[in-house]
Amino acid sequence: MKPALPLFIVFEGIDGSGKSTLCARMVSYFRERGVDALGLREPTDGRWGKELRDILKGDVAADARRQTELFLLDRQDDVERTILPALAGGRLIFMDRYYFSNAAYQGAMGIPPRTILEANRSLNFPEPDRVYFIEVSPELALQRVSSRGALTEESIFEKKDFLRSVREIYHSIADERFLFLDGTRSVDDLRREVVADMEKNFHGQ
């Protein structure tokens, strides 16, 4: 298919949902078909994004408020440098996490999610045309993450409660742009579902 461009697509989900894999698969799928697709992620590889990655890996301590500030800085830089120029150039953007993740994760750490959403929207960041949320249980997500050696057994119980809160916030902030996908299905099945949805709602000439 040739989608109507520009088009801004976001993938969201809890850690271990498979959203990064699906996002990368979508970029490859459209590039193979001659569409100028761009894959992006948050945090970025820029100055603020690298600081955030150090925090998220546990190398640097920072509370939820500081994390939110850094996400706003990282996102603003990405919007100005990459997202707006790409949209102006009529490109297809696939984004691995956007400000919804910020609201869900830092919201689960104690900041009201609506406060985070309002802070993002006050900066007039581009709004995505569609948000694909990969739905999996915290138990399955943690099983996937721990299989990569990213979790110790001691942290799994605490992480499960946190991811449950994150998922609940995602559901509470979802709007009509969200389409929930069954993350227990294969990546190829999910790719076909996303393509079918894009053909139905964003088909070009």
Domain ranges within the chain, ordered by starting residue? 7-201
Residues 6+ apart with CB under 8 A from 87: 6, 8, 93, 126
Whether the predicted pLDDT of 196 surpasses 60: yes
Q: According to the model, what pLDDT value does residue 158 have? A: 61
pTM, to two decimals: 0.93
Q: Which of 53-62, 87-96, 129-138, 168-177 has the lowest mean pLDDT?
A: 53-62
Where is pLDDT greater, at 149 or 72?
72
Burial status of residue 205 (CB atoms within 10 A of its CB: 0-12, 13-18, 19 or more) = exposed
Average pLDDT over residues 104-117: 96
Whether the predicted pLDDT of 77 surpasses 60: yes
Would you state the structure tokens that stand for residue 150, as one six-digit string?
């990213």
Query: Of all helices (H) and strands (E), which one includes residue 182?
Result: strand 178-182
Q: Give the total residue count for the chain.
A: 205
- Topology of the domain comprising 7-201: Rossmann fold (3.40.50)
Cα 90 to the center of its chain, rounded Å: 21
Q: According to the model, what pLDDT value does residue 157 have? A: 56
β-pairing, 178-182 with 7-12? Answer: unpaired
